[in-house]
Each structure stands twice: as C-alpha cells, then as structure tokens.
Structure 1
Amino acid sequence: MRKGLKLITLAMCMAITNTACGRSTSDVENTPDEKEQLLIWSYYETEAQANGLDKLTASFNKSQDKYQVSWEYVPMTEFDKKISRAYTEQELPDVVIIDNPDMKKFIQLDMFEDISEYASTLNLDTDYYEASVDTIKYNDKYYGVPFNSNNVCLIYRSDLLMEAGVTPPKTWDELKETAKLLSKDGTYGFLMSAMDSEQGSFQLLSWVMAASDSDTQLTREAISESYDYLAGLIKDGCMPADCLNYSQTDIARRFIEGDIAMMENGPWVFSMLDEAGISYGLSPMPMNKRNAVILGGENLGIIKGKNVEGSIEFIKYCMEKGGTERFCSDANLLPSRIKSANKIIVDNPKLEIISQQMNYAIPRTGIEGYSRISKQLPKSFADVVTGELTPDEAAGKTLN
C-alpha cells in the first residue's frame, strides 16, 4: 500500500513538472482564454482623437473572443521614418492608420497587403468620397480602406470679428484686408502652419491650388503667387513668422490664447476649441482663381506578412459595424463613407463645411511629383520669409 502511494505521488509530480516545463508560446496561444495580439500605429495626438481610438479598440476587443488589439502613438513627423526603419528591423505593427498621401509610396514598396477581395464588398467607388478612394488604389487594386476624410477651413474668433465690425473673408483680397483690421493691440489677424513637415506642406498647398487651374500640376506661377501673398501677411504684421515652427495643434493652442483672430485649421481641433469655451465660427477657405482645399484624412492599411486575418476582422468592425462612425463622432472627424458623413453632420453641424469642401478637395496622390515637391514647399517658403530668395526664385527651387 505504501509503495503504491509512492508511485502515485511520483507520477503526479512528474506530470506537474512536465506540464510546467512544456508550456510553450504556441500552447498559450491555443488556450481558449488567450487572444491573438494585434498592434496599430497611429499619430493621433489630440485628446479627442486618442480617446476615440481608445474607445474603438476597447469596443472591438469586447465584441469578439479571438483578437486583442492595442495601439501605439508615433509622432506624425516621425511616422514615415519609423515605418521604414521598422520594416528593416522587422518590428512593424499589424495595422497602420496612415496619412492618405503617404500610402501609395509604401504600396509601391510592397509593404501593404492587397485586400481587393474584401474591399470589393464595400462599394468603395460608389459609396465613398472619390478623392479618398483614390489614395488606396494602385493599378486597380485596393491596399487599404479610407478611415476618415477631412480638409482645412478658415476658423475665426467670432468676438474679435464682431468687435471690428467685419465678416469672414471669402477671397484672398478680403482676407488680407480683414487681417490688417484685426492686427492690433498684440493680436495677429491670421495664422497657419508652415513648419518643415507634411503638415506645413498640407496647409501651404491649399493656397497654391487656389492660385492654379489644375488639380494635378503645380506651376511656378501659382507657387510664386502663394509664397508672395503669405509672406506679405507676415511682412505687414498680420501673421507671426512663428508660423514656420508651428504644427496645426500649436496654432490651435495659440488661437485659444486669444492673440490670433483667424487661422487655417481642420476639424481635428474642434474639440480643443470647444473645451476651451471660446466663441468661434467657420468659413470656407478663401478663394483666388477658384476655391480649393487639399484632401486630408487617414487610411487603414495592413502590413504585408503580419496578422492579415485578424487585421481584416478589425477593419470589418470599423467599416461594417459602426466602429468608424463612432470614432469619427468622438474625434470630430468626417467618415469617408458619404452616407455616414451625412448622418454625423446632423449631430455635429460644424462638420458640414468640411463635407461641402469635399466636393472640390484635391488628393495629394494625384499631383505630379508631390512626394518630392512636398518636402521642398515649406523650406522654400521659409527662404522667402527670411529674404534669402524672391517668391519666384523660391518657386523655381520648389519645382527643381
């Protein structure tokens, strides 16, 4: 009897020891309670965007038992570099929420999965903003889905314009005159971002395209005219030269402080302005030869070779189960699906002006040589502001 007990005890110990020693990673992943991990990279930095993405990922995780998604912040100014570096070091995420003009260059580097089979079920070419869909297509294949769409508008301090007895300007000439009237007692009439980054290029380009007749060609004349006009605002004391250093979030903070009467910015800062409790209004970007804005927004893309099945499930949740709409509602952004955008506008009328401007929003991916020119736009503008180059010389440098 005692010998039998010893044998049973020994067998139990061996079983426990073997179980502990044999607990491999694959065994853990296959247990019912364990989820496959998915990682998203995003540059969302405003509180509304970050909170919205927190809620989106949490709701997806609760909606099913197979995948656990988390997201990691990567600064916008470092996003492209980090993707390229991580690709070399094989440390890429599963999904990226990427600025829509950047997507095609990474598609051409074979970094995104072709998801045409799934994308064909979404009626992208009929139900979504055409300009946004253009940024995910390459050689008639789909390498992602549009997550949201936006553009910039003129945002103004209602109290300051009312005190000055002026209305929101509709043209370049009117903006110049209004900015002069509002620039007094330590207040600047206007501010935009012209920093040496994609944000600066994005904001500068709306002015260039308003001075142009083409959606696909950047001309020396249009660039020169834009540089001359904007540098003139600085020279006249209507815009601080600090615009060369400010991000879009920075200029929103300056606007809130109260020494900026009007700014070029987008819906991603509406929550900041609302939380600050200031009175502000919205107006279309002033026209020159025409009304023009540049398409902004982000796409969802799946990194090639990562967890494609799980990533598709996350995208399905966003596109088919209301995930995108709830995120956009939280973050003050416009869904790329037109029907969803119209629905959100009912609850958030401020987005109507962004929706209206989508009718003529120009995708950067369609502008010839944009990836090269975009890097030079803010640099050349800075040369004009500092007096190193004339507007025409700077325009030539931008194109060459």
Structure 2
Amino acid sequence: MRNSRRSLITAVAALGALASLASCGGGAGSSTSGKAGGTYTFWDPYPQFDASSAWGRLVTKCGGDAGVQVKRTGMDTTDLGNKALLAAQQGNAPDVMLVDNPVVSTLVEAGILNKTSDLGLDTKPIQKNILGGGEVDGASYGVPIGANTLALYYNKKILSAAHVDPASVKDWASLTAALKKVKAAGKKGITFSAINTEEGSFQFLPWFWGAGGDLTKLNSDEGTAALSLWKQWVQSGYAPKDVLQNTQTTSWQQFATGDYAFGENGTWQLGNAGKAGFDYGVIGIPGENGGSAPVPTGGEFVTVPVQKDTSRYGVSTKIVTCLTNSANLLTTDNTLMYVAPTTAVQAEQVKSNPRLEPWVRAVAAARGRTSGGLGTKYPAISQPMWTAVQAALSGGKSPKAALDAAQTAVGKGN
C-alpha cells in the first residue's frame, strides 16, 4: 500500500473526477465538542443535520457510550474527501470518517484507511453487494451505514389514461411500448439525468449493466445497445432533450410537475414523492431482456483513518459499532431515506414503511461502482462514459462511435 505524497496527489485528482456524486445533501455545517474522557473527531457528509437532529444526537450518544466526547463536522461530500487527503498528508486525520462509497478505494490507495478486520469490526451481517462498495482486493475498509439506489417512479394517473399496466413493464421493449402509448395519449414519457458529471454515469449504469455491459469495455455491443436505447427515446420524443443538462434534482422536478409517466430517480426522493400531489408507484429498472437491471449503490461507509497514535483505534471502533448496530441503523436509515445494509433491519423498515419494499429489491440487485476490482480506475472510466452519452444524445456521434472514443480515452488514461 502506498502512502506517499505522490499517491495523495493522485488521489486528490481522482476525487475531483467524482465531484458530483449521487447522493443528497445541503445546508450548513455543525459540530459538538467536549473534554471528558478526551475528544474524538468525526467527519460526515451531512451538513444539513445539526447537533439537535436525530443524526447529530446519535453521534453524540455513541461518543458518550464510548466514554468520550465527539467533535463532529459535517461538510460537502467532495470537500470531505479532499480535506481527508490533506489531513492525512499533514498527519491530523479525523478519528472516524463517513465517506461516499466510491471514495473509499481512493482513500485506500492513498494509504489512509484501516481494514475492518484489523479493527475487529464485524461485517458478516451486511449484504455482500453493499459491502463490496468499500472493498479493495478482497479486504473491507469500512462499514456501510446504508444504501440508496435508482428505480423508476411512475405516475399512476398518466399510465391509467394511456392504458398501460405498470406490471407489464418487464424489459426494454415493453417499457418503450409504454412510452409510445403515453406519448400517443398526449403526455410525456420519461425523465432522467444524462448530465456530463458522475450523476449522468450513475443514471446510465442500470441500462448499461442491464444490457450486460462491462465497464472495462465501454464500446461492447451491450454498451452500445444501452446508449442506443437512450438515443432512441430522445429522438422519438419519449424523453426530453434537456436530459443533457438535467441533474438528478432537475430531472425529479420535471417528474414532479405531473406531466411525465416515468422518472428515473433515487430512494432519497421518497419524501418529495409524497408531496408531489399525485398518486405514484415504483418499479425496478428492467434489464434489456427482462429481470431487474443491476443498479449502482449510493451511500456512505463509516471508516477509521490511520493514526500515529494507534491506541485511539479501540474507542474509534466502539463509535463505529454504535453507529452501525441494528437498533441505530433503523432510525438512521429512515432519517436518511436509505435502505439498511442488513436484511434484518430492511425487514423492519418495510414493516414501518411498505413503500420501501421495491427499494429493498432494487438494492438487492445493486452493485458498487468501484466493485469488481475497478477501485480507483472507476473515475477514469466514468468520465469518458458520460462524455459518450453526451455526444450520442446531442447527435454529435453515433452511440458506437461515441463509445469507441470513450474506450480509447480510457486506454490512454490507464
């Protein structure tokens, strides 16, 4: 494992490529601190939650249970990753840190995270595909606090008027047929984000993977089929041309107007869906030939950065264990609109909120963006991929030519 200035600089560059990650956030930062038993520092990407929030109170409680005070700082996801690398370079990394899952491999390559096995943290109850987002070379470097992912929201009134049964949408052909009926009925089809950031890649991945695509070969027939599907939808007027500029937020805002039949979006929009003013449902994103398409996992991992004073790890491990035990996960994941990383807590979530059931199924089919050994190679693949999506949907290149150029770019980058 490398822990040099050079690898830290490389890691900063990789984090920059992941500057727009698929998760929710916003608001002002907060912290709590104290002296009794010593002070442990904790960073998270939830600046929207202050010390009085359920999350803020849990962090404080977990510190207290471990016999210490916790100084918590919430900051933007990208700032957190960059500041973590800088702090490690300066030898003052926080004791515990919650980071977005694609960032874990970058921090591992920089040599600043401890293995969960070295800390004695139990990851056995966690779903393997969720845990995979925090694994490098078969070793786990964090405990997931929860997961979010993508599915298709649908407007029940629009589908009913177009005589479309959402249960009939089982593959790409049936989904496209549904969009055709919706358009013929005078309504709009589907919204999604194809913006030239990580959000665009995040939203494209279910279709890419749903065709059987492999991120190490972007220009395969399978990858081309996925991009051709999106291009067909835009050309046919089933999807708006402004998907090229849509973030996941603006895409949701389009769906929330009540004019669209379908909207590809995430678990984090459940609260907004309840306020949209129309009856909605959720179905999984279908694979090209049926079944559930693999969807990318979003969500964060609780990690313990490397410290010069290794005697601090015992308390840090207690804090992590407290934050991720079953009782606390249920409250935390409901607050964050996350699906829990364990089947036991998922069952409790669905019991309290049946609308989470399709999301639990979606998470079960999900995979980490850096899984399969990609690690820090993922940002160098994602950027050419979203560039190819932009080129194809804008009409600048055919899907095959756009993905050929993307694969060439990946080859040069590696």
TM range (shorter): 0.7 to 0.9
| Deviation, structure 1 residue 110 | 0.6
Preserved contact between residue 334 and residue 349 of structure 2 (Cα < 8 Å): yes
Preserved contact between residue 194 and residue 243 of structure 2 (Cα < 8 Å): yes
The 2-side partners of 1:95 and 1:229 are apart by 43
Q: 1:360 aligns with which of 365, 373, 394?
A: 365
Q: Provide, for residues 4-24 of structure 1, a one-character-per-residue CA deviation record: whole Å limited to 9, x for no partner.
A: xxxxxxxxxxxxxxxxxxxxx
Overall identity of the aligned pairs, in %: 21
Residue aligning to 2:411 = none
Residue aligning to 1:269 = 269
The 2-side partners of 1:184 and 1:43 are apart by 43
Alignment of 1:16-27 (within 5 A): none
Do structure 1's residue 188 and structure 2's residue 183 form an aligned pair? Answer: no
Residue aligning to 1:170 = 170
The 2-side partners of 1:353 and 1:30 are apart by 42
CA RMSD of aligned residues (A): 3.1
| Deviation, structure 1 residue 96 | 3.3
Q: 1:39 aligns with which of 38, 42, 48?
A: 42
Preserved contact between residue 248 and residue 265 of structure 2 (Cα < 8 Å): yes
Preserved contact between residue 271 and residue 331 of structure 1 (Cα < 8 Å): no
Alignment of 1:2-81 (within 5 A): 32=36, 36-42=39-45, 53-60=55-62, 63=65, 66-75=68-77, 80-81=81-82
Q: Provide, for residues 359-380 of structure 1, a one-character-per-residue CA deviation record: whole Å limited to 9, x for no partner.
A: 4323322345533211211111
Q: Give the residue type in structure 1 aligned to 2:164.
A: V
The 2-side partners of 1:91 and 1:243 are apart by 42
Preserved contact between residue 189 and residue 262 of structure 1 (Cα < 8 Å): yes
The 2-side partners of 1:142 and 1:75 are apart by 21
Preserved contact between residue 170 and residue 284 of structure 1 (Cα < 8 Å): no
Q: 2:303 aligns with which of 294, 301, 304?
A: 301
Q: Give the residue type in structure 1 aligned to 2:392.
A: V
Preserved contact between residue 56 and residue 326 of structure 1 (Cα < 8 Å): no
Q: Secondary structure at the match of 2:324?
A: helix
When you count helix as a share of all residues, which structure comes out higher? 1
| Deviation, structure 1 residue 298 | 2.0
Preserved contact between residue 149 and residue 295 of structure 1 (Cα < 8 Å): no
Q: Provide, for residues 205-227 of structure 1, a one-character-per-residue CA deviation record: whole Å limited to 9, x for no partner.
A: 11011111769765521221111
Q: Give the residue type in structure 1 aligned to 2:333.
A: C
Preserved contact between residue 162 and residue 182 of structure 2 (Cα < 8 Å): yes
Structure 2 gaps, min length 5: 1-32, 409-414
Do structure 1's residue 397 and structure 2's residue 405 form an aligned pair? Answer: yes
| Deviation, structure 1 residue 163 | 2.0
- Number of matched residues? 365
Compare 260-269 and 349-358 and name the one that shifted more.
Answer: 349-358
Residue aligning to 1:320 = 325
Residue aligning to 1:371 = 379
Q: Secondary structure at the match of 2:165?
A: coil
Structure with max Cα Rg: 1
Residue aligning to 1:141 = 139
Preserved contact between residue 172 and residue 289 of structure 2 (Cα < 8 Å): no
Alignment of 1:344-355 (within 5 A): 344-355=349-360
The 2-side partners of 1:261 and 1:51 are apart by 35
Q: Secondary structure at the match of 2:307?
A: coil
Q: TM-score, normalised by structure 1?
A: 0.80
The 2-side partners of 1:172 and 1:44 are apart by 39
Q: Provide, for residues 226-283 of structure 1, a one-character-per-residue CA deviation record: whole Å limited to 9, x for no partner.
A: 1111022111111122222222233222222223221111211101111344311011
Q: Give the residue type in structure 2 aligned to 1:209.
A: W
